[in-house]
C-alpha cells in the first residue's frame, strides 16, 4: 500500500494528460476528471482512475491538481455545489497549475482557506514537450509549508521549481514568462522571413544563431516548426492571446509600460482574428509572412 498522497487531477488537455501520467509513473494514485471521454480513457489506459464528476474525483484526495485553460474555467470547477471546494476534504491541498489572472488565484486561496483547504498557484512553462518530458518550469505562489509539502509531487512534473511569493505570485511570474515567450517567437518569426527572403539556407542559419547570444529555448523548441511550417498545437494561439491579455492588464494595474509587449499582443490578437487561434504559437510566423506578401494557404 503506497504512503504517497492520493491525487485528483482535473483537466486532461494537451499538457494535463502527460503531466498526470508522469505522476502515475512516479507511483502516485491519480483519479482524474475532464469533459472529454477519450481523455478519461487515456488516463485509465495509463494506470489512472477515471471519475464521473469533480465531486467523485476529489472526495478522497489528499491533493487536488487543476490544469484548465483560463480563469472562468478555474472558477467553474472550484466553486458551487459540484465544485472542488464543496467536495474536497478539509486539509486537502489544491494546486492550481492553470495560467490565470493573479487576482483569481488570490480570491481562490481565500475562499478555499474558509473551507480549510490549502492552495498553491503553480503555473508552468515548457509547453507540451516539457510536460511529456517532465522538465517543466514551475512558478508557485502561496505558503512555504504548502510549497514544501507539494515539492515531491512537483518534482515528478518539472525541473525548475520555485516559490515566487504569496498567493498570486506564481501567476504574475507566468504572465511575465508569456510576455517573454511571445516577443521571442515574434522575433524568431521575423528573422525566419528575413533570412528566407535573403536567400540564406534557413536550417543552417537557425543552427548558428541558436549557438550564440541569439539562442534560446524558444528557438530550440520551435525551430522545426519554423522549418516545416508544422503548427500542430503544443500551445495554442488562443491561449497565448488570453495570457497576453493577463500580462497587459496586470502591467497596467501596477503602472509598468510594455511597449514591445503591447505590439506583440496585437499581433497575437490579429493572428487569432485571421482564424489561426487553434494553431501553435509558433504560427506567429504566418502573420509575418502575410505582412511580407506571402500567399498563406489554409
CA-to-CA dists, residue 86 to 33, 67, 113, 241, angstroms: 16, 19, 12, 32
Rounded to whole angstroms, the Cα distance separating 227 from 203 reads: 7
- Label residues 230-240 b or e (16+ Cβ within 10 Å = b): ebebbbbbbbb
Residues with catalytic function: 174
56's enclosing H/E stretch is helix 54-58
Rounded to whole angstroms, the Cα distance separating 215 from 206 reads: 9
Q: Kindly give the residue spans of alpha helices, DSSP state H, lying in the chain.
A: 16-25, 37-45, 54-58, 71-78, 84-87, 102-113, 127-133, 144-155, 169-197, 202-210, 217-228, 237-254, 259-271, 284-291
238 near 277, Cβ under 8 Å?
yes
- Write out the three cell numbers for 120: 498553491
51 φ, ψ (degrees, to nearest 5):
-105, 155
Nearest in space to 58 (alpha carbons), one of 116, 118, 6: 6
Residue with C-alpha cell 504574475? 172
Rounded to whole angstroms, the Cα distance separating 122 from 37 reads: 26
Query: CB neighbours (10 Å) of residue 148?
Result: 10
39 near 45, Cβ under 8 Å?
no
Which residues are paired to 93 by β-bridges? 63, 118
Amino acid at each position: 500500500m503506497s504512503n504517497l498522497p492520493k491525487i485528483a487531477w482535473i483537466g486532461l488537455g494537451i499538457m494535463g494528460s502527460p503531466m498526470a501520467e508522469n505522476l502515475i509513473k512516479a507511483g502516485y494514485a491519480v483519479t482524474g476528471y475532464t469533459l472529454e471521454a477519450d481523455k478519461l480513457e487515456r488516463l485509465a489506459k495509463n494506470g489512472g482512475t477515471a471519475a464521473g464528476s469533480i465531486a467523485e474525483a476529489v472526495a478522497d484526495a489528499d491533493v487536488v491538481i487543476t490544469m484548465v485553460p483560463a480563469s472562468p474555467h478555474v472558477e467553474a470547477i472550484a466553486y458551487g455545489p459540484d465544485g472542488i471546494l464543496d467536495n474536497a476534504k478539509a486539509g486537502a491541498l489544491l494546486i492550481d497549475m492553470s495560467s490565470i489572472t493573479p487576482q483569481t488565484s488570490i480570491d481562490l486561496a481565500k475562499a478555499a482557506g474558509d473551507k480549510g483547504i490549502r492552495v498553491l498557484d503553480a503555473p508552468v512553462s515548457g509547453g507540451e514537450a516539457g510536460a511529456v518530458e517532465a522538465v517543466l518550469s514551475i512558478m508557485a505562489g502561496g505558503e512555504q509549508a504548502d510549497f514544501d509539502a507539494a515539492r515531491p509531487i512537483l518534482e515528478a512534473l518539472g525541473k525548475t521549481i520555485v516559490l515566487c511569493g504569496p498567493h498570486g505570485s506564481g501567476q504574475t511570474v507566468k504572465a511575465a514568462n508569456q510576455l517573454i515567450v511571445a516577443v521571442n517567437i515574434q522575433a524568431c518569426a521575423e528573422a525566419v522571413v528575413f533570412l528566407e527572403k535573403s536567400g540564406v539556407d534557413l536550417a543552417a542559419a537557425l543552427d548558428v544563431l541558436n549557438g550564440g547570444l541569439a539562442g534560446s529555448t524558444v528557438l530550440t523548441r520551435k525551430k522545426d516548426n519554423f522549418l516545416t511550417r508544422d503548427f500542430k498545437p503544443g500551445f495554442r494561439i488562443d491561449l497565448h492571446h488570453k495570457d497576453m491579455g493577463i500580462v497587459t492588464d496586470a502591467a497596467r494595474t501596477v503602472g509598468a509600460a510594455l511597449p514591445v509587449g503591447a505590439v506583440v499582443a496585437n499581433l497575437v490578437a490579429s493572428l487569432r482574428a485571421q482564424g489561426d487561434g487553434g494553431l501553435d504559437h509558433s504560427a506567429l510566423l504566418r502573420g509575418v509572412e502575410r505582412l511580407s506578401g506571402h500567399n498563406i494557404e489554409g
